[in-house]
Chain A
Amino acid sequence: MRTYLCMILLCSAMFAQSQECSYTLTGKIIDLHDNSVLPGATLIMIGEGKTVESDIDGKYMFSNLCEGTYSLQVYHPNCETQIFKVKISSNTKRNFKLEHHLEELNAITLRASVFGSKTKTNFEQKVTKKQLDRYTNASLGDVLNTLSGVSSLNTGNAVVKPIINGVHSSRVVIMNNGVRMEDQEWGAEHAPSIDVNTIGNITLIKGAGALKYSGDAVGGMIVTEAAKIPVKDTIYGRTHVTGASNGRGGSISSTLTKSYKNGWYGSVQGSLKRFGDYEAPDYVLSNTGNFERSIAATIGFNRFDYGVEAYYSFFKNEIGILRASHIGGASDQVRSINSGIPLIIRDFTYDIESPRQDVTHHLFKIRGFKNVKNLGKITLQYDFQQNERLEFDVRRSSDDDDRASLDLALNSQTIRLDLDTDNTDLFNLKTGIMAQYQKNVADPSTGVRRLIPDYERFNLGIYGVADVSITDNFLVEVGARFDYFNIDAQKFYRSSFWEDRNYDILFPEIVVEELSNQVLTNPQLDFSNVSATLGTRYKFNDDYTIYANYSLASRAPNPSELFSEGLHHSASRIELGDLRFDSEIAHKMSITLQKQGKMFGFSVNPYINFINNFMIIEPTEIRQTIRGNFQVWEYRQTNATLLGVDIDASLTFNENWNFYHQFSLVKGHDETLDLPLIDMPPVNTMNGLVYQNKEINNLRVELQSEFTFRQNEFPNNNFEAFIAETDSFELVDVSTPPDAYHLLHLHTNADFSLSKNSMLNIGVSVTNIFDTNYRNYLNRLRYYADDLGRNFSINLKITY
């Protein structure tokens, strides 16, 4: 055997020597995951005694090579060493990709740069795992609220929806682990069904730049990703336990991950969160408890250039809605508003009664990718989601207490194929196609007319985004997306409304059947939407970067905007949609100037968003019904302009002290009526002083100040209601925003080593230190009760 080998070697050597030996082998060393270049990698040509290092751009070069096959060992301190075979028969260019895996254990801080950018010319804000860890018992909306430019639309304190640069609901797209959340969140009281404990990091993109995901993100996009799992033999996990005084509850969340060097990995995660009635400074907010459960599991196989992953998650949340907010008609509203305190205050309890929501969300995803030489990375993904939403109102008959007033089941299935090319030096192209089928079923056994009708929706999308590096510092990105939507609904209209709206003359062809006082119709609507983005990024030097971006976003009207018709009990108002709506089209321009520095850093992000056919819901009249007078809120389309600026700044005094500042301002104007837009976030600023000391157990103490100004620009939608008791008309003030307020919070945490591989992190926090009474303009329950009072919480995290 040995003789043979020697002979072959000898022959090959002779053969090789007879060839020309002036070829070069050049290329780059690249990170497999995010395509960043890896400088300082060592390449050893086995058996040849040649060793080179990759330079600052990740480039390497071997010269004077002969024709033949060489073995290269590529070594980089952060990566697994790999051996590649290269055949040389001319000057050859070859890039090598290394598995750049993370040392997750004992190093929970994930560097944002590890995750690839979602867009290259849109300024992105990130929330890291470490920041997320402080919010284990909060909602996704609360976490995002800490970023400049993000506020929240609340229904009490458990239903929190993010508002990005002034717009919300279906204008804010949430991509959860690669899957667009389809969770009936078109209304204000539908919060995203995501457990923050399943999230590894969050990227916020203000603007519709990430066309890969969707074209209708008029406000922006929230991309959450699971923590990355290293390719090595290891097992690790972490457990969070939190307790809080306000709500007298807490949460427990645990994750366990096992991975193997051969690429297989698996991870399970579970969370349980239970709170009773929350408390305002002066009283209990009766029926505001919540009970959240979630479980998620991942199994996958990650090899050098291909892999597959399956993910399943289950999320269930029961949320109590402030009892005092459930009212019937304008005269009740007058009493509630005038009283200044909730009309129903009961003793503290963990029970959750009507009105309440019960939301269940299943998500299943399977995804595979393959890196194809000279083409790029091909990804195929299929996902299935089921969202079941039950809303229980206070019913007249107590026999019906356990019967939901709203019972919707939304099933969505999406398949997508994406291609990311990355082999060229200057030009990157991302392209793909997706198809989605969605079906909503509204259960008629509620005995309440459907708020959202039965419908099927089909969406086909195709996109392409390319970025070109004009110079090393100057990058241009352009992209376009086309989406086709078809909605096929089965909607019962009340005959009186059908005729009142003239639909009987406009849409006689869609009537399927006429019943005594209802009309069954079959609206079939098509929308073809184009979205686009054009952006640049220019890096002046190591410190300063400027981003400029234009994005065109088109959003098809959602079913509530099209079909709403009737009394929305939880809002105590009549809501009316319009079948005649067109797609909303937004042109957003934004510039961000960013300075990164050791001492001082900032980003300034002014923007303007022109939204044509902007769909808003606004009061239009008072309707007399047998239940009393109700305000009618009607969806209408208008041309709106949103203008604003978000500022972030941080100042590091020394190793131990730093200060940060955030400021957001947005002005919304209705161009058609020449009035301010309703529900625009008031100006707010957040400032914090942080003390950190690595010597004292990584101690971190943060004093945070939150100041929210009064919203002075609002449309006046007040109305008068007849009050029988006093025989008079009284003003129902639903417009005037609450006063400005200032809150102070204190957060502390420290690390303690338990053993070689396990660590305990203890955090203690107080929010609203001075127990300040306040109400928030964007909380829909502000008419009825104050917001949360002081809260002490303790947060224990064990990593092992």
Chain B
Amino acid sequence: MKKFKISILAAIAITGLVFTGCSSDDDAPAPVNEEEVITTVTVTLIPATGPTVTLTSRDLDGDGPDAPVFDISGNLAANTSYIGSVVVLNETETPAENITLEVIEEDLEHQFFYDASTSLNLTTNNLNQDSEGNDLGTTFTVTTGDASTGTFTVTLLHEPTKPNTGLGDANGETDAEAVFNVVIQ
């Protein structure tokens, strides 16, 4: 009986201690700046002659309610070859983090895909390669045909099946996707 009483008293005492020990501390928690977010996709297309065209999609709140904002510097010229490159950034950090460098570093696990809609006279070729000789796509060439309009979609996949014939059999997960409305004139 005595033991029982002691146990109960001990339980109450422990409880009291623990409750006071954990009494609320209102220290503000540290903010988390999302590290793996991609906010910006910029495609730069440089022709042999004529103006450079940049296509930018920027979504500063990531998966927040604000939709991505598109900025296209100008129209593409008809029947012209462009040397293309892509840069993906995380602009929630200052200075902005260049995620393309990470993509190049882990080239076997990433690939950029470029798809033009059927209405758009545009083809993409000569994607640069990863260390195993499969497409990586941080640089590429774009060749335009006759004047037309349509969408030009850039997709960055994580852990795609390599080699592949395009998005259809690449599987993997989408890290970034930007659909640009493009005019060739």
A residues neighboring B (CB under 8 Å): 301, 303, 306-308, 326-329, 331-332, 335, 343-344, 366, 368, 370, 380, 382, 384, 394-398, 400, 411, 413, 415, 437, 439, 442, 444, 446-450, 453-454, 456, 488, 490, 492, 494-497, 500, 512-513, 515-518, 520, 522, 566-567, 574, 623-628, 630, 722-727
Contacts and interface: CB of A to CB of B under 8 A. Distances in A.
A368 B4 contact: yes
A544 B149 CA distance: 78
B61 A308 contact: no
B162 to A, nearest CB: 14
Given A444-B29, A626-B38, 6 more contacts: A344-B171, A380-B12, A413-B18, A447-B32, A449-B34, A626-B39
B57 interface: yes
| Across the A-B interface, the 8 shortest Cβ-Cβ residue pairs | A724-B153, A447-B35, A328-B173, A328-B174, A626-B59, A628-B177, A725-B167, A727-B117
B32 A335 contact: no
B2 to A, nearest CB: 11
A301 B4 contact: yes
Nearest to B3: A301
Contacts of B38: 626-627
B7 A626 contact: no
Nearest to B153: A724
A517 B92 contact: yes
A260 B19 CA distance: 35
A725 B169 CA distance: 10
Interface centre among A329, A512, A513, A625 (most CB of B within 10 A): A625
B54 interface: no
Interface string B141-185: 000000000110101001100000011100111111111000000
B36 interface: yes
Contact of A626 (B1, B29, B153, B176): B176
Contact of B174 (A332, A413, A453): A332
B63 interface: yes
19 contacts: A301-B3, A327-B174, A328-B175, A332-B174, A368-B7, A380-B8, A394-B159, A394-B173, A397-B106, A413-B15, A444-B32, A496-B66, A522-B26, A623-B67, A625-B62, A626-B41, A628-B174, A724-B155, A727-B115
Interface of B: 1, 3-4, 7-8, 11-12, 14-15, 18-19, 22, 24, 26, 28-36, 38-41, 57-68, 92, 99, 102, 106, 109, 113, 115, 117-119, 150-151, 153, 155, 158-159, 166-168, 171-179
A729 B7 CA distance: 69
A447 B63 contact: no
Nearest to B61: A496
A723 B92 CA distance: 28
Given A332-B174, A630-B63, A724-B155, A513 B28 contact: yes
Nearest to A501: B65
Contacts of A380: 8, 11-12
Contacts of A395: 36
Nearest to B36: A396
Contact of A488 (B11, B24, B99, B176): B24
B32 to A, nearest CB: 5
Contacts of B174: 327-329, 331-332, 627-628
B30 A444 contact: yes
A308 B4 contact: yes
Nearest to A403: B35
B32 A437 contact: no
A626 B177 contact: yes
B72 to A, nearest CB: 16
A437 B28 contact: no
A726 B167 CA distance: 9
Contacts of A447: 32-36
Contacts of A624: 67-68
B119 to A, nearest CB: 8
B44 to A, nearest CB: 18
Nearest to A518: B31
A380 to B, nearest CB: 6
Given A335-B171, A397-B106, A329 B177 contact: yes
A496 B173 contact: no
A335 B7 CA distance: 62
Given A344-B171, A368-B4, A725-B168, A626 B102 contact: no
A492 B29 CA distance: 9
Nearest to B175: A396
A228 to B, nearest CB: 19
B31 A492 contact: yes
Nearest to A329: B174
Contact of A382 (B11, B59, B61, B155): B11
Contacts of B168: 335, 725-726
B24 to A, nearest CB: 5
Interface centre among A303, A444, A449, A566 (most CB of B within 10 A): A449
A414 to B, nearest CB: 9
Nearest to A397: B102
Contacts of A515: 31
Nearest to B167: A725
Given A328-B158, A515-B31, A400 B36 contact: yes
B166 A626 contact: no
A626 B68 contact: yes
A577 B121 CA distance: 45
Contacts of A494: 61-62, 64
B63 A625 contact: yes
A630 B38 CA distance: 15
B64 A496 contact: yes
Contacts of B109: 398
A520 B28 contact: yes
Contacts of A517: 60-61, 92
A366 B66 CA distance: 51
A623 B63 contact: yes
A395 B110 CA distance: 12
Contacts of A724: 113, 115, 151, 153, 155, 167, 177, 179
Nearest to A381: B11
A567 B62 CA distance: 9
A548 B36 CA distance: 55
A454 B29 contact: yes
A574 B63 CA distance: 8
Contacts of B150: 727
Nearest to B118: A727
Contacts of B1: 306
Contact of B64 (A343, A415, A497): A497
A497 B150 CA distance: 32
Contacts of B66: 496, 500
B4 A448 contact: no
